[in-house]
Amino acid sequence: MEKLIETVVLFYTPLFLGFLFEKYVKVSESFSRDLSRLVLYVLLPALLFDSIYTKSIGGSFGELAVLTVFAVFTVLFFLLISRLLFKKRFELSMTLFYGNAGYLPIPIAYTLWGAEAVSLIGFYIIGNNVLSNILIPVLSAGDIKRGLDRLKKFPPLYAVFLALILALLKVEIPGLFLKTVGSVGDLAPSLALLVLGLDIASYGSFDKDGLKVYLARQAFSPVIPLLAFSLGMRGLPLYVLVLEVPMSPAISNVILAQEYDIKPEKVSRVVLTSTTLTILTTIPVLTLLFNTILI
């Protein structure tokens, strides 16, 4: 029970503070955007680098790679579902198959399981973000080059690959440097939640299509962990997969929608509606599940 309370408090407190700050201080749009960039370009890469290097230096790569494979499968699975449910409405299709692999899952996983879980999430991010950033430009505009160009500007991927390369080469990083990187990365979960709180508070009206995307993700998400379990996945990798699959659409959907003119205002409303519903319903259920059944 104590662990359950700790998880809930550590997750929802920064989220709620961000919400209140936006409501009563009325920050500018650039403020939230700049904080998001700070998380994306500095804090999240530091957290991923520290956790993946620490996890991989001993040579444990098998379960990390498995998460990448299942992330790719998850994107393709929800792409198929989105085509069946939403037909030619690509603004809904993209929000269903491109899930939030970092901002929401990392704070929960970090609180529950520590840095080891973050390293698994890092490899899930590889499969999820690389494939999604290729599929959306190709399916919407037939332009794979721009999708690959976007990936070049995604610092967390550089952090994952750099940590993996150094671990593979058995490069010993000085303890003080690693501790410093780790302390910077520790700021990422809370600040990411603060930013989400700001975004939710500034969100306008409820979007019924956002509800459809949310319900579709929740309805079909059990298929992936059940498949993984039947194939022999157990322990922390399975827990991380259970956490990742039902997550709301990635915030990057909004940026991609603007870049490729895929009804950006609609996509923004869908993402924030689905994110809000995930925070209010899915995450409490998962937190209870992890604290009472899986742990």
Closest CA to 274 of 263, 283, 285: 283
- Residue range(s) defining the domain that contains residue 51: 2-294
The mean per-residue pLDDT over the stretch 164-178 comes to 89
**Tokens 């680098």 — which residue?**
49
Q: What is the pLDDT of residue 13?
A: 92
- What DSSP line would sit under 115-155, residue for residue? HHHHHHHHHHHHHHHHHHHHHHHHHHHS-HHHHHHHHTT-H
- Beta bridge pairs of residue 99: 249
Which residue did the predictor score with more confidence, 40 or 159? 159
Cα distance from N-terminal residue to C-terminal residue, the chain: 12
pLDDT bucket at 221, cuts 50 / 70 / 90? very high
Q: What is the mean pLDDT of residues 242-248?
A: 96
Whether the per-residue pLDDT at 16 is higher than 70: the answer is yes
Which tokens is 69 given? 């494979």
The per-type count for the chain, helices as H runs and strands as E runs, is 17, 0
Range of lowest pLDDT (81-85, 155-159, 226-230): 155-159
CA distance 210 to 272: 8
**92 pLDDT more than 90:** yes
Report the pLDDT averaged over residues 277-294.
Answer: 88
From CA 74, how far away is CA 76, in angstroms rounded? Answer: 5
Q: Are 15 and 196 within 8 A, CB to CB? A: yes
Q: How far apart are CA 14 and CA 122, in angstroms?
A: 22
Quick one: average pLDDT of 221-235? 95
What proportion of the chain, given as a percentage, has pLDDT over 90? 43
Please compute Rg for the chain using Cα positions.
18
Rounded to an integer, what is the distance from CA 28 to the centroid of its chain? Answer: 25
- Give the count of domains, the chain: 1
Confidence class for position 60, pLDDT limits 50, 70, 90: low
Confidence of residue 294 (pLDDT cuts 50, 70, 90): low
Say if residue 1's pLDDT is above 70. Answer: no
Q: Is the pLDDT of residue 42 over 60?
A: yes
Q: Pick from 51-55, 122-126, 237-241 the range whose average pLDDT is largest.
A: 237-241
What gap in Å lies between CA 22 and CA 31, rounded to an integer? Answer: 10
CA distance linking residue 227 with residue 182, whole number of Å: 34
For residue 147, pLDDT beyond 70: no
CATH for 253 = 1.20.1530.20
Q: What is the mean pLDDT of the chain?
A: 87
Using 50, 70 and 90 to split pLDDT, how confident is the model at 278?
very high
**Which among 150, 163, 124 is positioned nearest to 46, based on CA atoms?**
163
For 212-275, the DSSP string reads: HHHHHHHHHTTHHHHHHHHTT--HHHHHHHHHHTTPPBPTHHHHHHHHTTS-HHHHHHHHHHHH
Is the pLDDT at 58 greater than 70, yes or no? no
